[in-house]
Amino acid sequence: MQSFRGAARAASRTIRTQPWRQGNSLVKSAGPHRTLSAQWKSARPLHTVSPRKSAAVIAESNEKDSSNPAMSFPCLDAQEAKSAQLSARSLQSGPEPSYTTGRHESYHCEQPLLLDWGGVLTEFDVAYETWGQLNSDKSNAILLHTGLSASSHAHSTASNPKPGWWEKFIGPGLPLDTDKYHIICTNVLGGCYGTTGPSSLDPSDGKRYATRFPILTLEDMVRAQFRLLDGLGIKKLAASVGSSMGGMQSLAAGVLFPERVNKIVSISGCARSHPYSIAMRHTQRQVLMMDPNWARGFYYDGIPPHSGMKLAREIATVTYRSGPEWEMRFGRQRADPSKQPALCPDFLIETYLDHAGEKFCLEYDPNSLLYVSKAMDLFDLGHAHQTATLKRRAESEDRIAHGGDALNASDPACSLTLPDKPYEEQPGSSSKTPLDESVSAEPVDGPPRDLVAGLAPLKNHPVLVMGVASDILFPAWQQREIAETLRAGGNKNVEHVELGDDLSLFGHDTFLLDLKNIGGALGKFLR
């Protein structure tokens, strides 16, 4: 029997006829245009159209009646066809899909994990892969943190020869040098590539968590990773390395476990999420959740919200690259300038985004996208935020110790409602103010004091911070902020590298593409 993903891929292949590639019409031919006088002669009273009539019939009948031909919408037809195909498949085969990027190791932790916002995972799995030999005193391990949607498959392995997402960065003599280091990469908690996440089965009832999965933070993900390190007998990491969300986690690893990390590398990351990046992730989550197939997260037995995922990925792609890159790559070119402009993808930049969305929409679990991207929003290594989190954790622990649940669904704190009073601009609001807590006034110059205090545990760690000027999602000021904050806290071992527009126009995705500059600085720092 064909697998869900097999069927979906087949659907995707059929549907992705990709007019931009084939140069076929984006606007289906409307047939020879009749003259206006001919239309007057054949004019009939408007008739009602049965709701069951197909889009093609509607278009055809409108064409006869209207003064201009109706448009065709191949992009919408493709979505409908894909839903139909997925629906047929899921009815036959029951609950699916099973997301995977191939074989990996798995660590099962039976000790419960208390999460920062009060949720509990009574047990959990961490999927991981390794490259290079672990030395006898287990002192040469590097923990590699991933971006939002990546799996543990950073590099090919004997059991999974498919190239990994950092294939060119890992290997003998390469930036992550496997002659010297033992590299470990995990799929994050909340993900869908083997580590416990919303698509996993809740051990308490054997059903998928879906949106019964608790809200989690990047720090929760890091705690799960350190449980794996405990399981592997690794007491201290030679380095914690990560890009994007991984760059945030890399810092968090040092802050949470300063004694267990030697060097820290944070590439295109930040010390706390800023409003623009939260806004961009918000729009992605909203389009996904508004897809009726999302069904409040309980879609595993039905059609996955592939349209919402596709749109979310298109928005994400806008934030991952840069305008100047697209200027050079696509300019104002249309896929087929000989055709009428279309409302479906038409300019090359549109067909590019369409393709990026289509490629991703069944590759990653939609609920994982929601939870992991929310965890990114919640990230704040400021001192006040950390203090509030510690307090909340202590309260949860206390409640559990006294026999209560960590989280109670009837707790009003579990259902956010908008305040009655409309929001008013706060005079002191700025990206330097922590999101949840009020802190003392910030200095006019220099890094925020709250952040200096929050990053104090990294005072003695050698840290490499890298950023890219063309990155709009994690703008270069955020990496500058990390470096300046660490220096202001007394760290004399901070290296900061910023790639200007002359070196990279790939925006946020530079970390995936630029072996020479990103890889070069990384390799030098770890030498």
Ligand X SMILES: CC(=O)SCCNC(=O)CCNC(=O)[C@H](O)C(C)(C)COP(=O)(O)OP(=O)(O)OC[C@H]1O[C@@H](n2cnc3c(N)ncnc32)[C@H](O)[C@@H]1OP(=O)(O)O
In the complex, what is the shortest distance from the CB of residue 270 to ligand X, in angstroms, rounded to a whole number?
11
Amino acid at 398: D
Binding to ligand X, residues 414-473 (CB under 6 A): none
DSSP conformational letter for 407? S
* Under rule CB under 6 A, residue 282 binds ligand X: no
Q: Determine contact, residues 258/461, Cβ cutoff 8 Å.
A: yes
Q: Which of 320, 402, 404, 384 is nearest to 148 (CA)?
A: 320
149 binds ligand X (CB under 6 A): yes
Of residues 286-325, those binding ligand X (CB under 6 A): 320
Residues 202-241: x where in contact with ligand X by CB under 6 A, - otherwise, as a string = ----------------------------------------
Q: How far is the CB of 513 from ligand X (least distance, A)?
A: 5
Please report whether residue 117 would count as binding ligand X according to CB under 6 A.
no
Question: Using the rule CB under 6 A, is 147 a contact of ligand X?
Answer: yes
In the complex, minimum distance from the CB of residue 281 to ligand X, in angstroms, rounded to a whole number: 8
Say whether residue 509 binds ligand X (CB under 6 A).
yes
Q: How far is CA 441 from the centre of its chain?
A: 33
Which window, 145-153, 174-182, 295-303, 515-523, contacts ligand X (CB under 6 A)?
145-153
> Residue 85 interacts with ligand X (CB under 6 A)?
no
Distance CA 276, CA 503 (A): 24
Give the binding range for ligand X (CB under 6 A) out of 210-218, 398-406, 421-429, 506-514: 506-514
Do the beta carbons of residue 143 and residue 182 sit within 8 Å? no
- Out of 11, 127, 245, 311, point to the residue binding ligand X (CB under 6 A): 245
Rule CB under 6 A: which of 336-355 touch ligand X?
Answer: 348, 351-352, 355
Select from 58, 109, 215, 513 the one that contacts ligand X (CB under 6 A). Answer: 513
Closer to ligand X by Cβ: residue 336 or 450: 336
3-state helix, strand, coil in the chain (%, to 5): 40, 10, 45
Contact window for ligand X (CB under 6 A) among 121-129, 380-388, 403-411, 505-513 = 505-513
Contact assessment for residue 249 and residue 148, using Cβ atoms and an 8 Å cutoff: no
CB of residue 44 vs ligand X: minimum separation in angstroms? 41
- Catalytic residue (choose from 471, 496, 509, 514): 471
Nearest to 486 by CA among 511, 500, 465: 465
- Give the active site residue among 365, 470, 508, 514: 508
Q: What is the DSSP string of 292-351?
A: GGGGGG--TTS---HHHHHHHHHHHHHHHS-HHHHHHHTTT-BS-TTSPP-SSS-BHHHH
Report the C-alpha gap between 175 and 373 in whole angstroms.
Answer: 28
Among positions 126, 143, 148, 381, the unique one binding ligand X when judged by CB under 6 A: 148
**CA distance readout (Å), 280 to 226, 285, 377, 434:** 30, 9, 10, 19
Q: Closest CB to ligand X among 193 and 352?
A: 352
| Among 212, 236, 359, 392, contact with ligand X (rule: CB under 6 A) | 359
Closest CB to ligand X among 344 and 439?
A: 344
**Contact call for residue 160 and ligand X (CB under 6 A):** no
Residue number, 20 or 131, with CB nearest to ligand X: 20
Nearer to ligand X, 148 or 241 (CB): 148
Look up residue 37 and give its amino acid: S
- Region 18-37 residues binding ligand X, contact defined as CB under 6 A: 20
DSSP 139: -
Q: Are 132 and 239 in contact (CB under 8 A)?
A: no
Q: Is 47 a catalytic residue?
A: no
Largest Cα separation within the chain, whole Å, is 91
Q: Choose, from 12, 72, 243, 244, the residue flagged as catalytic.
A: 244
Instruction: Answer whether 422's CB lies under 8 Å from 456's CB.
Output: no
CA distances from 413 to 106, 118, 297, 375, 405 (A): 35, 11, 21, 18, 14
Which of 238/369 has CB closer to ligand X? 369
Alpha-carbon distances of 473 from 183, 300, 322, rounded to whole Å: 27, 31, 10
**Annotated catalytic residue 244:** yes
Which residues in this chain contact ligand X in the complex, by CB under 6 A? 20, 147-149, 244-245, 320, 330, 348, 351-352, 355, 359, 509, 512-513
The residues annotated as belonging to the active site are 244, 471, 508
